[in-house]
Amino acid sequence: MSTRFGKKLERIETPIPGLVVFELPVHGDSRGWFKENWQREKMLAHGLEDFGPVQNNISFNDAVGTTRGIHAEPWDKWVSVATGRIFGAWVDLREGPTFGAVFTTELDPSRAIFVPRGVGNSYQTLEADTAYTYLVNDHWSPDASYSFLNLADETAAIAWPIPLDQVEVSDKDKAHPRLEDATPVPPRRILVLGASGQLGHALRERLGDAPHIEYASRAELDLGSGSLDDARRWRDYGLIINAAAYTAVDTAETPEGREQAWATNAAAVASLARVADSHGITLVHVSSDYVFDGAAAGAYAENAPVRPLGVYGQTKAAGDLAVSTAARHYIVRTSWVIGDGANFVRTMHSLAERGIDPRVVDDQIGRLTFTADIADAIVHLYETHAPYGVYNVTGAGEPKSWATIAEEVFRLAGHDPKRVTGVSTDDYFASATGPIAPRPRNSVLDLTKVMATGFSPTAVDESLRAYVNELKD
Calculate the CA 261 to chain-centre distance. 25
Give the model's pLDDT for residue 4: 73
Amino acid at 421: T
Give the model's pLDDT for residue 235: 87
Side-chain-side CA neighbours of residue 121 (13 Å): 24
Q: Please, are residues 439 and 401 in contact by the beta-carbon 8 Å criterion?
A: no
Q: What is the pLDDT along the chain (473 residues), one digit of tens a residue?
A: 456 777 899 999 999 999 999 999 999 888 888 999 999 999 999 988 888 899 999 999 999 999 999 999 999 999 999 999 999 999 999 999 999 999 999 999 999 999 999 999 999 999 999 999 999 988 887 777 889 999 999 999 999 999 999 998 889 999 999 999 999 999 999 999 999 999 999 999 999 999 999 999 888 887 766 678 778 888 889 999 999 999 999 999 999 999 999 999 999 999 999 999 988 899 999 999 999 999 999 999 999 999 999 999 999 999 999 999 999 999 999 999 999 989 999 999 999 999 999 999 999 999 999 999 999 999 999 999 999 999 999 999 999 999 999 999 999 999 999 999 999 999 999 988 889 999 999 999 999 999 999 999 999 999 999 999 999 87
Question: What amino acid positions are annotated as catalytic residues?
Answer: 71, 134
List phi, psi (to 5°) of 428: -60, -40
Q: How far is CA 285 from CA 9, 15, 320, 388, in A?
A: 37, 34, 8, 12
Cβ neighbourhood burial of 274 (10 Å; 0-12, 13-18, 19+):
middle
DSSP per-residue codes, 297-363: SSPBPTTSPP---SHHHHHHHHHHHHHTTSSSEEEEEE-SEE-SSS-HHHHHHHHHHTT---EEE-S
> 149 in the Ramachandran plot: left (φ > 0), alpha (ψ -120 to 50) or beta?
beta
Q: How far apart are CA 76 and CA 94, in angstroms?
A: 13
DSSP per-residue codes, 141-200: -TT---EEE-TT-TTT----SS-GGGS---HHHHTPPPGGG--PBPPPEEEEESTTSHHH
Q: How far apart are CA 303 and CA 295, in angstroms?
A: 15
**Sequence-distant (≥ 6) Cβ neighbours of residue 430 within 8 angstroms:** none
Confidence (pTM): 0.88
All domains of the chain, ordered by start, with CATH?
10-181 (2.60.120.10), 189-472 (3.40.50.720)
Distance separating the N- and C-terminal Cα atoms of the chain: 77
Q: Are strands 20-23 and 111-115 parallel, antiparallel or unpaired?
A: antiparallel
SS3 call for 412: helix
Q: How far apart are CA 190 and CA 209, in angstroms?
A: 11
Give the model's pLDDT for residue 224: 66
Q: How far is CA 305 from CA 300, 317, 443, in A?
A: 9, 10, 14
Give the model's pLDDT for residue 1: 45
Q: Please, are residues 315 and 261 in contact by the beta-carbon 8 Å criterion?
A: yes
Q: Hey, how many other C-beta atoms are within 10 angstroms of the C-beta on 25?
A: 17
